[in-house]
Amino acid sequence: MRAFLAAVRHENFSAAAEELNVTQGAISHKIKDLEVKLGVDLFRRTARGTIPTEAARGLAKAFEGALLTIHEALEEVMPSQIGQSIRISVLPGFALQWLFPRLIDFDQRFPGTSMSLETTEELTNIAAGDSDLAIRYGRGNYAGVDVERLFDDHIFPVCSRSFLSDNGPIHSPSDLLSHTLLIDDTRSIDGYSPSWQRWFGHVGVPFHKGTAFKRFGQSNMVIQAALAGQGIALGRSALVVDDLISGELVIPVKKAFPSGFGHFLVSPKNLSRNPSAREFCRWIKAQAEFSQTKIHWLLRDCFAKI
């Protein structure tokens, strides 16, 4: 079922194999075996991937419902054991820049709880029991689950102190166009993504194509490039708060504005049955509130000058 559901979700056997940490051949073999047993074709093999048939989509929906029922039944009969483990799906950038440095505190407070973190850009099916919790970046419109905002998201330029000293003072937004701008290829959500174009439009500066860019696949890679003095990044408040506090990063142009996005804690409707997950939720909300206070303090001058 896991191989089948992953293949339906990704519409690609290679991606399904990567998710389950097996070979593509293993996924293909399991799917073929299932097709033989059922006597129906579940996927159409094309040059672009493996497209689930209507029969496959209907079967996947039934499997997901069955897995959720099994998960709930296990929680009923083994509440003490289920509660000692948490599976959390989290975005790579948020995990590396904000969550990982704080997990020592959680381990010290709750030494009996084991935690499994999956860092992925993909949306995890919390309702079907794929993970106990998830932390996602977007607008917070996730159906069938409970959603709580952890962070408001503000975007603004950041660079290393050494970059600023080596490349002269930067006085205005237009000065940024003379320097290398670091970009992460954030996928569009609802037709919108926080970007340099959005930031320059907000501060009233025309954004021209002659500007030098360096592109990276993930937000944490952009931040690391900024720390290494490779250019100026568009910082997201939650991901750069610690580096700003430490002084590793600075804000060369003090203009910040809300991106319209945020970081959200996503949990199932039946979270009350997992005591350790509830403890983690309380812990991370307290940590986020503390960080949010620091962010507002760091950006107090940025808002005043917009």
Task: Give the tens place of pLDDT for each residue, 19-46.
Answer: 666 778 888 888 888 888 888 888 888 7
User: In the prediction, which pLDDT does 44 show?
Assistant: 86
User: In the prediction, which pLDDT does 189 show?
Assistant: 65
Q: What is the dihedral of CA 57, 60, 61, 65, to 10 degrees?
A: 180
CATH code, 1-77 = 1.10.10.10
pLDDT above 60 for 83: no
What is the Cα–Cα distance from 256 to 298, expressed in whole angstroms?
Answer: 11
Residue that wins the pLDDT comparison between 5 and 172: 172
Contacts of 254 (CB under 8 A, 6+ apart): 156, 301, 302, 305
Output the CA–CA distances (angstroms, integers) from residue 204 to 4, 115, 170, 197, 198, in the order listed. Answer: 50, 46, 17, 10, 10
User: Which helix (DSSP H) or strand (DSSP E) does residue 304 occupy?
Assistant: helix 300-304
List the structure tokens of 285: 């909300």
Average pLDDT of the residues in 143-172: 90
pLDDT above 80 for 282: yes
What is the Cα–Cα distance from 216 to 223, expressed in whole angstroms?
Answer: 10
Nearest to 89 by CA among 116, 112, 65, 68: 116
User: In the prediction, which pLDDT does 74 show?
Assistant: 59
Average pLDDT of the residues in 257-280: 86
DSSP state of 135: E
Look over the chain and give the mean of its residue pLDDT values, rounded to a whole number. 83
Structural contact between residues 9 and 49, judged by C-beta atoms closer than 8 angstroms? no
- Please, where in the chain does CATH 1.10.10.10 lie? 1-77
Local confidence band at 252 (pLDDT 50, 70, 90 cut-offs):
very high
User: In the prediction, which pLDDT does 151 show?
Assistant: 92
User: In the prediction, which pLDDT does 157 show?
Assistant: 95
Output the CA–CA distances (angstroms, integers) from residue 10 to 50, 211, 222, 280, in the order listed. Answer: 9, 36, 27, 29
What is the Cα–Cα distance from 252 to 255, expressed in whole angstroms?
Answer: 9
β-bridge partners, 90 = 119, 135
Lowest mean pLDDT segment, chosen from 118-127, 173-182, 255-264: 118-127
List the structure tokens of 8: 């339906």
pLDDT above 90 for 135: yes
pLDDT above 80 for 127: no
- Please, where in the chain does CATH 3.40.190.290 lie? 83-306
CATH topology of domain 83-306: D-Maltodextrin-Binding Protein; domain 2 (3.40.190)
pLDDT above 60 for 80: no
What is the Cα–Cα distance from 36 to 88, expressed in whole angstroms?
Answer: 35
Q: What is the DSSP string of 27-87?
A: HHHHHHHHHHHHTS--EEEETTEEEEPHHHHHHHHHHHHHHHHHHHHHHHH-HHHHTTEEE
Average pLDDT of the residues in 231-248: 92
User: In the prediction, which pLDDT does 272 show?
Assistant: 65
Local confidence band at 209 (pLDDT 50, 70, 90 cut-offs):
low
